[in-house]
C-alpha cells in the first residue's frame, strides 16, 4: 500500500473533516488517489459509478470500480489509466485465435480479479461485499463503495439506435453521434449500504473530474443521492480544460448534445448541486459567468500528470471546499 501523507495537510484543516468523493473513470480515479494521499483513510469515502458494469465472456466486469481500486492500490496501467500495469495478454490472444471476442481487452492479471468477483457474486455476495474484500486484499484503506448493489446499466442513445455503454464506448470507440443517455432501473435501485450515511455526514462532497454524463449522472440518478449531495452543496472539478476533455469523450458528448464543451458547461450541468467549482487557470476568463450561477470558483492547475499533482490538487480542493462550507 502507498504511504499516506496526511501529515502534509495544512494545519488549519480540521483533522476530522469527512470527505465524500463521487468518481468514475480515469480522471475520477486520479483525484480520488490524491484525496487518499492527503486524508486519513477513515475520513474518505469514494462512491463509484457502476453504470458501466457489464457481463462479458460470462464474467462480471466493473470498469470504474476497478480503475479506482487499481489506482488507489498503485497497480493501474499508467498509459491507459484502466487495467493493470505490467499486464500481459496471453489469454486474450488465445481467445482471439479461437475466434472469441477480443474487442474488450482483458489482460491476464486483470482477468484474475474478474474471475474472483464473478465467483463471489455467484456464491451470493453482493457487489459491496466483494468490493470491501478486494479493497482489504489490495491494501486500500479509504472506504470505496459501489453506488448501488443493483444493476443499473447505462444505455447510450445514438443516431444509430440505443447501445449498451461498453458497446458504444469501447467497441464503437464513441463514434456514433450521441442523443442522450438512460440508466436502466436506476429509479428502483437502492444506494449501497453506507452511501447515504456517508453523504449525510460529509463536511465536503467532491465531484471528481469524471464524465458528467456517463460517470457522475448515473450516481446522481440513484434515489436519495442527488438530494443528499444538494443538501451538502458540493465542489466539482472540471474534466474540461480550454474546451477539450482531459481524457475521454465528455467534450464530444457535450457537442453532440448541442452544448459548447467548456468548464462553464460543466458548472452549469451541476449548478444546482454546487457551492464551488474548480477549473483550470487557462479557463480563468469563465469565472464571472460561473459566479453568476451563484457558484464560487478556484482557478488552479487541474491537469494531473503525476501522483504529486493529484495530491496537490486534492489538497487545494479540500481547502477551497472547507473554506466555502465555513463561510456559507
Least distance CB 88 / ligand FO1 (angstroms): 14
Least distance CB 46 / ligand FO1 (angstroms): 14
Please list every residue from 76 through 95 that binds ligand FO1, using CB under 6 A.
82-83
Query: In whole angstroms, what is the distance from residue 24 CA to residue 230 CA?
Result: 19
Q: Which residues contact 287 (CB under 8 A, 6 or more apart)?
A: 279, 297, 299
Q: Which is nearer to ligand FO1, 88 or 260 (CB)?
A: 88
Provide the grid cell at 67.
480503475
Strands (E) located in the chain: 19-23, 44-48, 54-56, 59-61, 143-146, 154-158, 161-164, 178-183, 204-207, 234-237, 240-241, 244-245, 274-280, 296-300
Provide the grid cell at 315.
489538497
Query: In whole angstroms, what is the distance from residue 104 CA to residue 107 CA?
Result: 10
Provide the grid cell at 189.
435501485
**170 binds ligand FO1 per the rule CB under 6 A:** yes
Q: Which is nearer to ligand FO1, 215 or 245 (CB)?
A: 215
Q: Which residues contact 60 (CB under 8 A, 6 or more apart)?
A: 53, 114, 117, 118, 121
Least distance CB 289 / ligand FO1 (angstroms): 28
Q: Which is nearer to ligand FO1, 61 or 235 (CB)?
A: 61
**64 binds ligand FO1 per the rule CB under 6 A:** yes
**53 binds ligand FO1 per the rule CB under 6 A:** no
Please list every residue from 91 through 120 that binds ligand FO1, using CB under 6 A.
104-106, 110
Choose which of 9, 18, 21, 25 interacts with ligand FO1 (CB under 6 A).
Answer: 25
Least distance CB 103 / ligand FO1 (angstroms): 7
Q: Which is nearer to ligand FO1, 10 or 78 (CB)?
A: 78
Q: Note the residues at the interface with ligand FO1 (CB under 6 A).
A: 24-25, 52, 61, 63-64, 66-67, 82-83, 104-106, 110, 166, 169-170, 215
Amino acid at each position: 500500500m502507498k504511504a499516506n501523507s496526511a501529515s502534509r495537510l495544512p494545519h488549519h484543516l480540521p483533522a476530522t473533516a469527512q470527505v465524500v468523493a463521487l468518481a468514475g473513470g480515469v480522471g475520477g480515479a486520479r483525484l480520488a488517489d490524491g484525496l487518499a494521499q492527503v486524508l486519513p483513510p477513515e475520513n474518505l469515502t469514494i462512491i463509484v459509478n457502476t453504470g458501466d458494469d457489464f457481463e462479458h465472456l460470462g464474467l462480471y466486469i466493473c470498469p470504474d470500480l476497478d480503475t479506482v481500486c487499481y489506482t488507489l492500490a498503485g497497480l493501474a496501467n499508467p498509459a491507459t489509466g484502466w487495467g493493470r500495469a505490467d499486464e500481459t495478454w496471453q489469454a486474450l490472444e488465445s481467445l482471439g485465435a479461437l475466434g472469441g471476442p477480443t474487442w474488450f481487452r482483458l489482460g491476464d492479471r486483470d482477468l484474475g480479479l474478474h474471475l474472483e468477483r464473478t465467483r463471489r457474486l455467484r456464491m451470493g455476495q453482493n457487489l459491496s461485499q466483494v468490493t470491501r474484500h478486494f479493497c482489504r486484499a489490495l491494501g486500500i484503506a479509504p472506504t470505496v463503495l459501489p453506488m448501488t448493489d443493483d444493476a443499473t446499466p447505462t444505455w447510450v442513445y445514438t443516431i444509430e439506435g440505443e447501445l449498451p455503454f461498453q458497446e458504444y464506448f469501447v467497441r464503437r470507440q464513441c463514434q456514433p453521434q450521441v442523443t442522450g443517455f438512460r440508466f436502466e432501473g436506476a429509479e428502483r435501485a437502492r444506494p449501497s449500504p453506507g452511501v447515504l450515511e456517508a453523504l449525510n455526514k460529509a463536511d465536503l462532497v467532491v465531484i471528481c473530474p469524471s464524465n458528467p454524463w456517463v460517470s457522475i449522472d448515473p450516481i446522481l440518478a440513484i434515489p436519495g443521492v442527488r438530494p443528499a449531495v444538494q443538501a451538502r452543496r458540493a465542489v466539482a472539478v472540471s474534466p474540461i480544460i480550454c474546451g477539450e476533455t482531459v481524457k475521454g469523450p465528455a467534450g464530444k458528448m457535450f457537442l453532440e448534445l448541442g452544448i459548447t464543451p467548456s468548464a462553464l458547461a460543466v458548472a452549469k450541468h451541476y449548478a444546482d448541486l454546487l457551492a464551488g467549482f474548480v477549473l483550470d487557470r487557462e479557463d480563468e476568463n469563465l469565472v464571472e459567468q460561473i459566479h453568476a450561477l451563484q457558484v464560487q470558483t478556484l482557478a488552479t492547475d487541474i491537469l494531473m500528470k503525476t501522483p504529486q499533482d493529484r495530491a496537490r490538487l486534492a489538497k487545494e480542493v479540500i481547502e477551497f471546499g472547507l473554506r466555502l462550507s465555513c463561510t456559507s
